[in-house]
Amino acid sequence: MALTARFEDALVWATQLHSRQMRKGTQVPYIAHLLGATSIAMQYGADEDEAIAALLHDAVEDCGGEPTLREIERRFGARVAAIVVGCTDSVVFPKPPWRQRKESYLAHLRRTSSSVRLVSAADKLHNARAVVADYRALGEALWDRFRGGREGTIWYYRALVNAFQEAGTTPLVEELHRVVCEMELLTAQESDG
């Protein structure tokens, strides 16, 4: 796939939108996550619209809600906006309670488009890999970063794998499954030992 100036524009804008954000509990600039998720999406066959949506997948939720969604549509088109909103678990502020948002998002994944599932799975895979790596470095202290804590976070990742698999397994979903199994195994070993 050849990328055009639209992708470059999205990359610059995503960097600007998230310029003051860091990854949860770290000093890693948030753009690293957006680049990681986009890289994974492209590795698993994303077209340019899907790659742009991967760059912008957290923009609505974290950077302005509906006005940001309208700007995404104006700049990059209705398809990109639809993928981004499909990857968003809340466009309202304040956000509904964590568990409610996650359960609603899981139900949505089972019936959404393959483009939304591709970008969402790329996002979740990048996050799951970070959780595994950070757990190795920090141990149980890692769970303080997450609203769902240890149990809720592990439940959510397992439920994501199940929802993606129900919608139709892909090599990306299978990779997510392997990483989530590793997460479960690591945390089970810690609690047993």
Please enumerate in sequence order all residues whose Cβ is within 8 A of that of 48, keeping only pairs 6 or more positions apart, or say none: 1, 3, 4, 6, 7
The two structure tokens encoding residue 175: 């990779």
**Phi, psi of 120, deg, nearest 5:** -65, -45
Question: Distance between CA 175 and CA 130 in Å, rounded?
Answer: 14
Q: How many CA atoms lie within 13 A of 119 on its CB side?
A: 28
Question: Distance between CA 65 and CA 62 in Å, rounded?
Answer: 7
As annotated, the active-site residues are: 61-62
Question: Distance between CA 129 and CA 180 in Å, rounded?
Answer: 8
Question: Distance between CA 73 and CA 84 in Å, rounded?
Answer: 10
Alpha-carbon distances of 61 from 47, 56, 69, 170, 175, rounded to whole Å: 23, 10, 9, 26, 26
